[in-house]
Amino acid sequence: MSDAPRIVVLPGDGIGPEIVAATRRLLETFGSFEFDERLLGGCSIDEHGTALTDEVLEACRAADAVLLGAVGGPKWDTTDPAAPRPEQGLLGLRKGMGLYANLRPVRPSPALVGASPLREERIAGTDLLVVRELTGGIYFGDSGRDGDRAHDTCEYTAAEIERIARTAFEAARRRAESSGRRPRVTSVDKANVLETSRLWREVVGRVAPDYDDVALDHLLVDNAAMQLVSRPADFDVIVTENLFGDILSDESAMLTGSLGMLPSASLGADGAPGLFEPVHGSAPDIAGKGIANPLATFLSAAMMLRHGLERPDEASRIETAVDAVLEGGMRTPDLAAGTLATPPMPDVPAEVEVGTAEMTDAVLAALAD
Ligand code: IPM
Ligand code: MG
């Protein structure tokens, strides 16, 4: 038996296969990995009529970690409730692997601060983490349609809330070790309206005394959406339920102006394999053109090394290399669009537009430095 970590690779649809292939090249510079490539999403629907087969789910459960590209595309868009949808593959994996904690760090790369839709003085210093509950709430509650009436049910148990609250408090503690800041958790709910939110707030408050070094505050979700735009740099860890987390994590991602840069990790119980994927989608409009931005997947591989394989030094090396390449001026078209118009400034290297392969070569070269 080899010691090489077993990674199930799910390239998915659209640009997924391109960015995942680039990431395999990156990982291979850190030694050997046993990659097991499988179908998920639209490509699996085409082949098997379902977005996630039992066989693929079993392979994922038995792996050391799972690396995912992206799923979906117009080919499989449908409102027919009976037709299979690529997203069902993702939701099936989350539930089937017990991945209840989704971590989405938002830290604009210093070289890209100018791409933010916010003024530089607002976005400067932003470094936050969205901890989203991923296997409960309205995503997985009872739903149905009866003629002109439809329903989706939001349900949470205290146990589900407690474990995600602990994930958030522990993440805040870990982040403080490197930042030196007092750790803070902001719990987001809609306790003025929803019973599940009142239970949420109560349980988070009950867990908090176990982490008395971590400051805790509560925000209503509408207020949180507003504060994220007006004072993003004041947030540390945000913990929230599934649907609110879906919305707030996209909002947080856009703060940086570079959705193409953001990684994520979905984690389950201690020791169980995690799932690592970029936050952006499958970008079918640019698939196959060799211009997809592989950086969010590289950073997801870094999260895999850190959270999934306990190889934090290699994770930091990838993050540093990505920052260095951006500082050097390299931009895939999605990043260039927002910033190329900036007039050249002294001491700032000119921006160069590159494709997936050149960007990958540049990160590999920066790693070798
Ligand atoms: C995400 C996505 C998914 C979600 C979709 C594709 C089902 O938006 O990972 O945030 O809503 O969770
Ligand atoms: Mg989303």
Instruction: Please list the active-site residues.
Output: 139, 190, 222, 246, 250
pLDDT tier at 1 (50, 70, 90 boundaries)? very low
- Residue 277 CA: nearest ligand 1 atom is 9
List of residues 6+ apart from 304 with CB closer than 8 A: 7, 65, 67, 265, 274, 276
Q: Whose CA is nearest to atom 10 of ligand 1?
A: 246
pLDDT tier at 93 (50, 70, 90 boundaries)? very high
The Å distance, Cα 277 to ligand 1 centre, comes to 11
Report the pLDDT value the prediction gives residue 350, as an integer from 0 to 100: 84
Mean pLDDT (whole number) for 197-206: 98
* φ and ψ of 133, to 5 deg: -70, 135
CA 254 – CA 259 distance, rounded (Å): 6
Residue 121 tokens read as 């003085």
Buried b (16+ CB within 10 A) or exposed e, 56-79: bbebbbebbbbbbbbbbbeebeee
Buried b (16+ CB within 10 A) or exposed e, 118-152: beeebbeebebbbbbbbbbbbbbeeeeeeeeeeee
Pocket of ligand 1 (CB under 6 A): 87, 90-91, 246
- pLDDT of 346 > 80? The answer is no
Q: In this structure, are residues 117 and 127 in contact, taking their beta carbons and an 8 Å threshold?
A: no
For the chain, give the mean pLDDT: 94
The bound ligand whose nearest atom lies closest to the alpha carbon of 254 is 2
CA 154 – CA 200 distance, rounded (Å): 12
pLDDT tier at 366 (50, 70, 90 boundaries)? very high
- pLDDT of 214 > 70? The answer is yes
Reported as a single tens digit per residue, the pLDDT across 313-345 is 999 999 999 999 999 999 999 888 554 444 455
Mean pLDDT (whole number) for 172-196: 95
Report the pLDDT value the prediction gives residue 344, as an integer from 0 to 100: 52
- Three-class DSSP labels, 142-208: CEEEECCEEEECCCCCHHHHHHHHHHHHHHHHHHHHHHCCCCEEEEEECCCCCHHHHHHHHHHHHHH
Residue 285 tokens read as 């409009």
Report the pLDDT value the prediction gives residue 253, as an integer from 0 to 100: 87
Report the pLDDT value the prediction gives residue 336, as an integer from 0 to 100: 80
The bound ligand whose nearest atom lies closest to the alpha carbon of 241 is 1
pLDDT tier at 179 (50, 70, 90 boundaries)? confident
Within 10 angstroms of residue 233's Cβ, the number of other Cβ atoms is 15
The Å distance, Cα 247 to ligand 1 centre, comes to 9
Q: Whose CA is nearest to atom 11 of ligand 1?
A: 246
- pLDDT of 233 > 50? The answer is yes
- pLDDT of 257 > 80? The answer is no
Buried b (16+ CB within 10 A) or exposed e, 234-262: ebbbbbbbbbbbbebbeebbbbbbbbbbb
Reported as a single tens digit per residue, the pLDDT across 75-92 is 999 888 889 999 999 999
Mean pLDDT (whole number) for 92-116: 93
Report the pLDDT value the prediction gives residue 20, as an integer from 0 to 100: 98
Amino acid at site 261: M
The bound ligand whose nearest atom lies closest to the alpha carbon of 247 is 2
Mean pLDDT (whole number) for 53-62: 98
The Å distance, Cα 247 to ligand 2 centre, comes to 6
Q: Whose CA is nearest to atom 8 of ligand 1?
A: 246
Q: Ligand 1 pocket test: which of 87, 135, 282 has the largest number of ligand atoms within 8 Å of its C-beta?
A: 87
Cβ-in-10-Å burial (0-12, 13-18, 19+) of 47 comes to: exposed
Reported as a single tens digit per residue, the pLDDT across 260-318 is 899 999 999 998 999 999 999 999 999 999 999 999 999 999 999 999 999 999 999 99
Q: In this structure, are residues 152 and 138 in contact, taking their beta carbons and an 8 Å threshold?
A: yes
Report the pLDDT value the prediction gives residue 258, as an integer from 0 to 100: 76
Q: Whose CA is nearest to atom 5 of ligand 1?
A: 87
The Å distance, Cα 99 to ligand 2 centre, comes to 15
pLDDT tier at 212 (50, 70, 90 boundaries)? very high
- Residue 86 CA: nearest ligand 1 atom is 6
The Å distance, Cα 343 to ligand 2 centre, comes to 34
Q: Whose CA is nearest to atom 1 of ligand 1?
A: 246
